[in-house]
Chains A and B, each alone.
Chain A
């Protein structure tokens, strides 16, 4: 797989969704608070199913929550 990583706007979107806590979001999608924290810190990339669930709960499209950040330099 090429260089790059999944980034996300989870912390911001949680705040905008009525200051939802990590524990509340985790409970809604069936993961622990620590897993939500790991996703926010970029330490864990969730499964596609979990990513879709998070986006649905936050009322956003998947690409509004998660983005792919390429490690390659942009073309000139």
Chain B
């Protein structure tokens, strides 16, 4: 498995676990602004720390492979992931920035924006791992 596929798996799994937990907790709950901030901050910090530790352990186990620059396949796969995620993000931005303000405000808007970002990033990393697994001929 390519180094960048491994790191994409780490990011994807951590993102689904941490933000999946976050959105499960906040959906339908009426938390105060401070509670919401603490929860959001805690989840983000937890995800970053877990990603750093997991990547460091993987790098130690992988040796020179982890220090190699991305090759043409890595760059092609990354471009494909970013271009597909871009369209997902645009749909999210239009929904949150143009449609939702007519009927929602406050944390609902903030969480919707965060949800759009998480979905776009999830699609990005999902595209990356699928492209490595099933092949890419772009």
Could you tell me which A residues sit within 8 Å of B by CB distance?
Answer: 5-6, 26, 30-32, 34-35, 38, 41-47, 50
Cα distance, A44 to B2, chains bound together (Å): 13
CB-nearest residue of chain B to A30: B71
Q: In the complex, are the beta carbons of A38 and B137 less than 8 A apart?
A: no
CB-nearest residue of chain B to A29: B71
CB-nearest residue of chain B to A47: B72
The residue among B71, B72, B73 with the most chain A CB atoms within 10 A of its own CB is B73
CB-nearest residue of chain B to A26: B71
Known: A26-B71, A31-B72. 18 other contacts (CB 8 A): A5-B137, A31-B71, A32-B2, A32-B3, A32-B65, A34-B1, A34-B2, A34-B3, A35-B72, A35-B74, A38-B135, A42-B135, A44-B135, A44-B137, A45-B137, A46-B72, A46-B73, A47-B72
Cα distance, A63 to B93, chains bound together (Å): 47
On chain A, the residues within 8 Å of B74 by CB distance are: 32, 35
At the interface, yes or no: B103 with Cβ under 8 Å from chain A? no
On chain A, the residues within 8 Å of B2 by CB distance are: 32, 34-35
Cα distance, A43 to B131, chains bound together (Å): 9
On chain A, the residues within 8 Å of B136 by CB distance are: 43-44
